[in-house]
Structures are given as structure tokens and as C-alpha cells.
Amino acid sequence: MIFKIIQAIFLCLLSNITLTSQNNHFTLKDSLRGSMRKEREYDVTHYELHVKINLDKKFLEGYNIISYVGLTDSKEIQVDLFDNMSIKFIKSGKKNLKYRRIFNAIFIDHPIQNGKSDKIVIEYEGNPVIAKNAPWDGGFVFKKDEKNNHWVGVACEGTGASLWWPNKDHLSDEPNDMDIFITVDNPYFALSNGKLIEELKSGKKSTTYHWHVSYPINNYNVSLYIGKYSHFSEDMMTLSKEKLTLNYYVLEYNLSKAKIHFEQTKKILESFEHFCGTYPFIKDGYALIEAPYLGMEHQSGIAYGNGYQRGYLGKRIPENLNFDYIIVHESGHEYWGNAVSCKDHSEMWLHEGFTTYMESLYIEYLFGRDEALRYLEFQKPSIANDKPLLGPKHVNYTDNTSDIYIKGSWILQTFRKSLMNDSLFFDIFKSFFQNHKYGFVTTKDWVDFVNTRTGVDYTPFFSQYLKYKSLPKLVYKVGHRDTYTSIHYKWDCYERDFNLPVEIEMDGRKIRLEPSMDWKNIEFNRNFKNVKPVTRGILIDVEEQKM
């Protein structure tokens, strides 16, 4: 009893410990999830997840076999599972293992040994978190379709995959491959990531669906869908002359509509292949699955819930364009986010910014560069400049600014413009993807790659855009004297060595200038009436001052 009282006091004290970074306050709970503690220094090689869903009770039970290799020596191993889910047992072989729970972290009395392969089994059950507003608020969605049939999905990016299954819930570790077994009552169909291997009878009233993922997969991408689905598929020949199977799973009454609407998918994937290379999960195929929420980039099994509309629920794209935003954006994530992943939520701009730029590249592929620029300019007013794009590390930071999407995209566009060399830009963009496919990247990896390929130090450029919320400001003055025009100009920003060439338009004529943090001056033996910076295609603030 005394031990339990001391333990309760200890946990109470731990819950009040806060970490402070960039004016954000974080608890031990955040650190347990976001940091790579010694108890987490192991490499997951395989998950074998078994889940049975009781649709009426919104209850799941199952177990996960976690195979791993130790990367250090530790007396305990940490696995994650939300504390509202009950653990029935944890075993290594036939041995029951002792464990303790601190918030959503499980510390198991089982040593990690450097270089040693091992596995543990965790059996669990419970009513998972119900999402209030999926996919932004993580959790399960239990709905009924138009015919009053069960329709289930789950989205858990940021909130964590451990809200519904036990795993090492950290972005920096992905299994080499994965097997997922979902058991559900007949006549419902259960879908997941990868390829359907088999359907197994489970008693008289249920079926188990076995899905296999052939590639590394991040935990929040592991998903399931349950409903009365119709399936159709088609094969497309990639630009590299490989066969890619496209699978579509839709509610039965939407089949005819879906066959027409999803025709656009082939051109979307073709455009992405042009800029980045062949679809990265070609062995598993590509799938769009109708979901009871707007959408999510679940690897090889993308959640689709845009209601077969153009744009984003019929909005958010220019009137002259006609494409489904959710298909474009979530498919772009198969490259940036799924095949190439960041290691910490603080750098989610690497997922979202790169993917958002893929939207404009899709338009460029189909309609040309000028139309892509119009699309980018259409998005530009949505940039808030409310927070830096890089957040605090090691605390599972999910309070990201929405600017990781459009501002992140515009940083890439501005970098492209600064190069004045599209061949070099696209070589960097594609080569960076190919060099890191099925692996992890950091912002530093990207900047170092750019610096090497260009021979120019772009570190101040990216630091200015990513570490500070305000944009670099071009300050300029225009003077007129007799037949002369003078322009004084400089950058007002945080990074002393920030460098970005800009164009100045003078009565229709354009010149290219290279401002610095110090005033520069240029004179012309002509009296220009209209002098202004050209901001189309670059992301800057502009301030004109009087001479």
C-alpha cells in the first residue's frame, strides 16, 4: 500500500513537470511520446497486427507481435498504447512480462540488447478514442452510410497510432514490412494498407482479412476501413514502362459515379512520376478508399472523402480548373511523407510543403508553367505568417501552423525562382527524393543537398523562411533628379547573409538586383515613372520608403 501511495505521488509530480521551448509548454507526457529515450533505442523490423472490431459496441480487441533489433543495452523497452486501452498480457515466448504504465507509455521489464533480434507480443482491448473532427482530430470514426450500414475508418496523424494499437509510436522508426489482420462481422469488408493476401473465415459470422505491406510504413499511415464496399481496378503503364495496379473501393451506391470521377487519377500519378520517379509502392499497388472523413494519405490505401467534387469540397481551387484536390494532395503524400519521411513532428513542413508544391507541379504538367503560377498565386493569400515552420523537437509537437502547407510550398517556389535554372531545380527535387526513398530526412539534409548541388550556401535562405514567422522584406526608395532615376534597396530580415535576387520593373523594362542587409544604390540616365518590384513567383514582403 505504501508503495502504491508513493507511486501515485510520483506520477502526479511527473504530470506537472513542463518543458519550455519557443514559448510552448510541454509535459512529461509529451516528452515520453516525442523523445528517443534509451528504452526506445531499438529498430522495429516487423509488426504483425491482429484486430477484431465489434461494430455495435465500437470495441476492438487484438494483439501485435513486435519484432525488433536492439540498438543499445537497456533494462526496459518502451512501447506506446493510449491508457484508455487495457493490456491483457505482454509476453516474450511463453513468459509473461511485467510492465508499468506512465500515461500512454508502457515500460516493459524486458531488456534490449545491442544487436540482438527479439520479439514481444502485446494483447489488448478497449474502446478506442473517437475522433471529434477527423482527420484533424485523431481517432476512430463510426458512422452509418446512406443505407444505414456500418462505415468505419480511423485517422491518427499527430495524435498517434498508439490510440488504437500498441507500437513504437515515433516517426523515426518504421518496420521493413507489415502484416495486418482485421476481423469483422459479415457481410462487411475490411480494408487496410498494402495488398489483400487472403480472406479467412472466422467462426460462422465473421471474416478475417489479411493485408500485407511490402515496404516501410510510418505508424500513422497504418489504417483500416470497414463498410459495404464495391471494388473496381485498372492497370496503367508507368512512364518507366512498369505496370501499376490502381484499386478503388467505394460504397456500393457510388460505384457508377466513382468510375467516372476517378479517371483523373492516372494523369495525377503520371505527373508525379514525371517529377519524382515511378510510384514508390508499386508492388503493393495504389488504392483510393472511400472514407467517412475528408481524406488522409494512408500509404497504398488513401482515404477519400471529398464527395466526388472538384477542388476541396467544391472550393479552394481557381474556377478555371477542374480536379479533385483530395486525390491530388493525398496522392502527392505517397512521395513526400510516406516514401520520404521526417523524423520529428517539428519538421512536418517536409511532408506538407513538398506535397503542396506537387499540386502546382501537377497543374504545370497538364497546363503549363503560367497556369501553375496562377494556382500558386491563388493560394498565396492563405499564408498567415503566424509561427515559424520549424517547431520544438522531441515533444511530439502537433501545434504546427497551417503555413507548413502553402508557405512551405512557396519556399520551394521561391528557391526555384532564385536559381533561374529549372533543369537544376528539378534535378535537385527528383534526386533528393530518389536518394532518400523509403527513408528519413531532416531539414538539414535538404539544405545540405541543395548547397552541394548548387555550390551556393542556401543555409541563410532556408533559415530565414523556416525559423522565423515574418517574411524577408524588400525595402526600397526611388529618387528622380533631372533625367536620372535612382533606386536604393536592401533586405530587412533576420538572417544577415540572406540572399535572393529580385526583379525590378521600370516602365515595362525589368532588371535583376541582388539586395543585401546594407543599402545598395543603382542609377539610370533616364527618368522612369513606374518603378516597382516584381513579386510574382517569389514570397517576400515589400516596403517603399520616401527618399
Name which CATH class applies to 473-545: mainly beta
| Count of other CB atoms within 10 angstroms of residue 468 | 17
Q: Please report the sign of the dihedral spanned by the C-alpha atoms of residue 138, residue 296, residue 218, residue 428.
A: negative
Region label for 31, one of left (φ > 0), alpha (ψ between -120 and 50) or beta (otherwise): alpha
CA–CA separation, 173 and 440 (whole Å): 9
- Spacing of C-alpha 128 from chain mean position: 23
CA angle in degrees (0–180, nearest 5) for 530-536-541: 80
CA distance 162 to 349: 23
How would you class 82 by CB atoms within 10 Å of its CB: exposed for 0-12, middle for 13-18, buried for 19 or more?
buried
Q: What is the pLDDT of residue 10?
A: 34
Written as tens digits, the pLDDT of the chain (547 aa) is 433 333 333 333 333 333 333 446 789 999 999 999 999 999 999 999 999 999 999 999 999 999 999 999 999 999 999 999 999 999 999 999 999 999 999 999 999 999 999 999 999 999 999 999 999 999 999 999 999 999 999 999 999 999 999 999 999 999 999 999 999 999 999 999 999 999 999 999 999 999 999 999 999 999 999 999 999 999 999 999 999 999 999 999 999 999 999 999 999 999 999 999 999 999 999 999 999 999 999 999 999 999 999 999 999 999 999 999 999 999 999 999 999 999 999 999 999 999 999 999 999 999 999 999 999 999 999 999 999 999 999 999 988 899 999 999 999 999 999 999 999 999 999 999 999 999 999 999 999 999 999 999 999 999 999 999 999 999 999 999 888 999 999 999 999 999 999 999 999 999 999 999 999 999 999 999 999 999 999 999 999 999 8
DSSP states along 274-326? HHH-S-TTTTT-EEEEE-SSSEE--TTSEEE-STT-SBBTTBSS-TT---BHH
Quick: pLDDT tens for 417-470: 999 999 999 999 999 999 999 999 999 999 999 999 999 999 999 999 999 999
Residue 20's pLDDT is what? Answer: 37
The pTM score is 0.94
219: which 3 cell numbers? Answer: 505508424
Looking at residue 8, its pLDDT comes to: 38
Which cell numbers hold the place of 277?
Answer: 520517379
Q: β-strand 502-506 against 243-251: which pairing, if any?
A: unpaired
Contacts of 241 (CB under 8 A, 6+ apart): none
| Residue spans per domain, the chain | 1-34, 340-467, 473-545
Cβ contacts of 8 within 8 Å, gap of 6 or more: none
Same fold, 340-467 and 473-545: no
Distance CA 455, CA 457 (A): 7
**Would you state the pLDDT for residue 24?**
64
Average pLDDT of the chain is: 95
* Neighbouring-strand partners of residue 324: 311
Q: What is the CATH topology of the domain spanning 340-467?
A: Neutral Protease; domain 2 (1.10.390)
Q: Which residues, 6+ apart, have CB-to-CB distance to 404 below 8 Å? A: 348, 349, 351, 352, 353, 389
Nearest to 282 by CA among 238, 217, 228: 238
